[in-house]
Each structure stands twice: as structure tokens, then as C-alpha cells.
Structure 1
Amino acid sequence: FPYSSPPKHFLMATAPLIIFTIFALFGVSSLTAAAETPFVVAHKKASLLKLKSGTERVSVSIDVYNHGSLAIYDVNLTDDSWSTEIFDFVAGNTSNSWEKLDAGSHVSHTFELESKVQTTYYSAPAVITFRIPTKSKLQVAYSTPVPALETLAEKTVAYKLDLVKLFSLCRSCLHSMDPIFL
């Protein structure tokens, strides 16, 4: 066999093609691996309800969504960010668990607290732990944080003052525009 090397222009043309093929294979394999995983999103929200007795209730709701393509197992939700010095537990529990959360589904958990003191309270995100069949290590996700809660605050007086300021500002704006429309 006489051996002859390929022409230089052939090597120059195939080198980028080989490099492109290698990167394409890595890209496709990483996309395939990423597509076959759970994607957990948790949304935590709290609302204040002032009762006639002068107390205030905080209703906390946490929604856990599995937006991935695999089911997750041994799902545990824990929200221990509510201080017992500031809140009394009225209904429900700050933790919950589910055996399985299928792909594309969601679960909700709610509980109620009662404010004991007037304060601005910052709650930490809830922690969600779960297992997936392809990994032995426990997975962790966090909920969205709740904006600052002003418990037992005198909101009505501040709101009324803001309305008075707004109306007086609008009225002065209208009086200054009168000559323009004449």
C-alpha cells in the first residue's frame, strides 16, 4: 500500500468540523441531562388581617411546584422563621411533608399566626428538601422571601394622611392649569 497523506486543504476544512461536532455532542448531552431533572419552585406569601378585637392574624401560604420532568420523593417543607416571641400559632403547622410530587404538579401548605407585638418583621425563605431517583444526595430548594410585615401598625392614619396630601396636590395642580384651558 502506498500511503499518501491527505491534502492540507482537506485537513484545514475538517478540523473545524470535528471541533464543532464535539461541542455539539457535549451541548446535546448536557441539554438532555438537564431536561430529565426536577425543577422545584416555591412561592411563600403572607397576608395580614386585622380583627375587631384589635389583634392581627398573619395567614402564611407556601406553594411548591415541580416544573421538571421527573417526580420528586420525600418532600419536606419547613418554615421555622416565625419567632414565638412575636407570634402565637393559631392554626396549622410550620412544616409539612409529602411522599411524592409528580412532574408538573404542585402542593400548597397554609398556617395562621397571631401577632403579639407591634414590629416590622422579616421572614426568611422556607426550606424544601427532597430526593430524586437519580441522585442519592438530599436536594434543597428555597421559597421566595416574604416582604417586610408591619404587624399591629397604625396604617389607617398614615393612609388617610397620604390621601389628604394626594388630594391637595391634585387640587393645586388643577388650579395651576386653569389658565391653560381658558
Structure 2
Amino acid sequence: MASTRPRIPGSSGTVHPVIPWAEPVLGAACAPVTAFDSSLERLVEDLYATMYAHDGVGLAANQIGVGLRVFVYDCPDDEDVRHLGHLVNPVLLEADGVRVPGEEGCLSLPGVRASTVRWDRAVVRGQDLTGAELEIEGTGFFARCLQHETDHLDGGVFLDRLTGPRRSLALRRTRRSVWYHPVS
């Protein structure tokens, strides 16, 4: 008899190490996905498994060393509504509303957090595992997540959005981290 239980995202995935900041794959724009096949399904499963294992709310493919435009999320908004999904070939269409500072961290920058200004609303267009078009709108913390993960796929991290003393302090914390080994 077939199970009627919904499959838990990531339950069949492999947990990968998260690539630390300063690795070249994190600083380059990711390539679009062109094959919607079992390899893409496996990548999404692995992203979920890795995100959950590292207690994240979002994870981009380049954070596990895969330079493709894919990210997953399991993130609440400011009303504590859970948003669970994935986006293939996402593009940030709109980021507007109020600019809100909020503490932000990143699995590729463990232990480094900083108040980062983001838009309170974001709309991202992409595709699902079959190639069907999706458009996701988020507000509050979920909008922050959508912007953060899209930034990763464009070759950026939240540190790039910091200025002045906040940026200096975050970079100093990064350089003092045990995981930091700059690429020569």
C-alpha cells in the first residue's frame, strides 16, 4: 500500500559541507539551469538536507559548490507563516516597500552577523523542478531571505550590502574566524 504521507524535503538528500566565504564559487554569478532532470531533483534534495543539517532558512546551490541558479528555503515571514520551496533560475523582479535594517547571517559566514538593510517586500520569478514558471512574493523576514539567496546566485553575500563601521566590524570578525582561509 502506498504511503499517503507527504515526502519531507531533504529526507532523501545528502548533507554537503557549506562552502566558506572567499571561495571563488561564491563570488561568481551562477549559470542558468538548462536540464530539468533527475540531477536537478537530486541537487534540490541535497540543498534541503544541507540547509536543515546546518539550521538555515535558505541555501543557494553555490554554497555547496554547485554554480547553478537554484536555491531552497524554509523560512517564516514576520507573521510566522512558514514558506517552504525551491526556485530554479530565480530573478529578483521587485524589491520595494520600506527599507528595514535587520540582523542577517549566512551559513557560508558562520558566526558572523550584522544589521543589514533590505527591502521589506520582494518578488522573485523562477521555475520549479519541471520548468514550470513560479512567482514568489515575500514580505518581512521572508523577503529578506529571497533577496539574500538571490544575491548568492549573483555572486554576492550580505557583507557586500554593509557600509562604514558595520562593514569594517563584520570583515574583522570574518578574518578572525577559524574557518577563514583567503584564496590566494
Q: TM-score range by the shorter chain?
A: under 0.3
**1 or 2, which has the higher strand percentage?**
1
Q: Give TM-score scaled by structure 2 length.
A: 0.22
TM-score, normalised with respect to structure 1: 0.22
Greater RCO, 1 or 2 (C-alpha within 8 Å, sep 6+):
2
Larger Rg: 1
